[in-house]
Chain A
Amino acid sequence: MLLVVEQFLNGLQLGLLLFLLAAGLTLVFGIMDLVNLAHGSLYMMGAYFAATFVAWTGSFIGGIVLALGATLLLGIALEFIALRHLYGRDHLDHVLATFGLILFFNDAVRLIWGPAGLALPLPAWLTVPIQIVPGVFYPAYRLAIIVVALAVALMLYVVVMRTRLGMLIRAGASNREMIGALGINIKLLYTLVFGLGAALAGLAGLMQAPILTVQIGMGENILILAFVIIVIGGIGSIRGAFVASILVGMIDTLGRAFLPDLLRKILSSAAASTAAPALSSMLIYLLMAIVLVVRPEGLFPANRR
């Protein structure tokens, strides 16, 4: 019981974290039609900025706020210098150019911070375990991730669904040419959306940083997960990204936790212990393959005609 609750919360936490990453990616994808492989680099930069600023200011919250701002600025600069010129080009051009950006960011980080990873230590008040139900303790920091991510998701929902900016974003996702024709300043909208996506990716990176080490290439594995999520959810759909993120987070975490025991009931224990890790890593890709075979446009296609 205890394990189940704990793993359930871990799944929720991973899912929400992935949502922060996927939300920015799906917005950029849906509105600018830009395949941004470098989104994972922004996640990495968020973590590095946080580790640096926290050490520099000596304050956890202060460092994180500075890191968020820095990632936002970096995102806007990136859009302004490079990515802006890629809109309307072939998806393959995007893949090539942003692949180049990944190479650049990885080596830039190696040059500035060195090849060894960094650690982002938690302040004391975030390391205590909290009793959530009688007898079940859960680390305060992981709980904080869940709360912050849920708050950001809610905020994103309000912004996208209830404000004028959100209306423009949704309009952009369903018909790009039309909102341009209606006289909306698309360039500004694009820069804003990209900055927002970058800040969200940075937030995900810096929140993950105290749990894992801050290292080069940390964004690459999780980027693929984020892509899986937006494809499952339907490109351009925030709602789809949310549902798919939670689904992927849960399946991945619960699969890793419980699949070995399940397999052991069917197979011999030797066979189960070799098959389980591979199978549990594959689960989400299996999920994506099934979703795409059944619904080739994802669960919640954004631009229905």
Chain B
Amino acid sequence: MTASLNARNVVAALIVVGLLLLPLYAQFSGNMFVLTLFTRIVIFALAAVSLNLIMGYGGMMSFGHAAYLGIGGYAVGILAAEGIGSGFIQWPVALLASALFALVIGALSLRTRGVYFIMITLAFAQMAYYVAAGLARYGGDDGLTIYKRSDFSGLINLSSRVQFYYLCTGCLFGGIYLVWRIVNSRFGLVVQGLRSNEQRMQAIGFPVTRYRLVCFVIAGTMCGLAGALLANNTDFISPAVMYWTRSGDLMVMVILGGMGSLFGPVLGAIVYLVLEEFLSQVTEYWALIMGPLLLLIVLFGRGGIMGLLGRFSRG
């Protein structure tokens, strides 16, 4: 693979530089809202990147990915409510809980294929949603306010907007790097092989489900991290984070940006959330424009924005 100067790589580089320089712009222009907006975007981009690992590269169309956002968030929220404020405990618990959840539902869901897989992951996410709504001690339906952000004892201060933004961006870049390494490793090649032809991979002698399951767990854990970040960003966690429309949002981001491309989900998250923000400023009825726009993108722009860019640079 040679990195060449095509439209996709230019866009990827622009995203990296843009995200890194954003706080500077916010400081100079005094427009701190941009930083708030992009902190949210970067967190959702991380979730979308993790979904892209299983959906784009692994061919596993999970419609319950928002469950991990909730699990990571609730791990932080519940521990904070119980008086354990240290991020060194909260975050590993968030990651572990997400990984365990992914392991259990992955082991069951991966017995099914295609639409049935979409639906069973959705069912498990809905179960998680109802469990959270039933947690009367932790706010139930109304959610749980987190009064103090995770404490990393002087290492990093999550209450500083700029520091928190860079932490989120660091996590995002770390996630992208991890996905890049995975995709280009032997393990990643097997997973991608499974996407294109399961029978052949099985015939060659790969333990099909085990490879898929490991990939599923990695993605779930990564999204759990996004959940922990999200809870810290909003100082609040509620079951609504896990509702199926949220999983739908994540899927839209991945497909919009371009499945199976490294920076596609990031671009998708940026475009989707900025568009939402922009349109909701123009009109109260922003979804009236957003909805048909999504339809048009599906009808005319196969492969998402990255796919369009790829075609554009090929001439």
Contact = CB atoms under 8 A, between A and B. Distances in A.
Contacts of B55: 92
Contact of B126 (A85, A224, A275): A224
A103 interface: yes
Given A96-B298, A111-B285, A101 B127 contact: no
A281 B130 contact: yes
Contact of B251 (A95, A104, A108): A95
Contacts of A281: 130, 133-134
Nearest to A101: B291
A295 to B, nearest CB: 10
Report the contact-size class of chain B (Cβ under 8 Å from the partner).
Answer: 35 or more
Report the contact-size class of chain A (Cβ under 8 Å from the partner).
Answer: 35 or more
A296 B123 contact: no
- The A contact surface, by secondary structure, is helix
Interface in B131-187: 131, 133-137
B38 interface: no
Contact of B288 (A107, A286, A298): A107
Contacts of B287: 103-104, 106-107
Interface in A1-34: 29
Contact of B136 (A99, A274, A292): A274
Given A92-B255, A96-B251, A274-B136, 10 more contacts: A95-B61, A103-B291, A111-B288, A224-B122, A277-B134, A285-B124, A288-B123, A289-B108, A289-B127, A292-B112
Interface of B: 55, 61, 63, 108-109, 111-116, 118-120, 122-124, 126-127, 130-131, 133-137, 244-245, 248, 251-252, 255-256, 259, 285-288, 290-295, 297-299, 302
Please list the 10 inter-chain residue pairs (A to B) with the smallest Cβ-Cβ separation, ordered nearest first: A278-B134, A104-B291, A100-B294, A103-B291, A107-B287, A103-B287, A281-B130, A97-B298, A100-B291, A285-B123
Interface of A: 29, 35, 37, 82, 85-86, 89, 91-93, 95-97, 99-108, 110-111, 220, 224, 227-228, 231, 235, 274-275, 277-279, 281-282, 285-286, 288-289, 292-293, 296-298
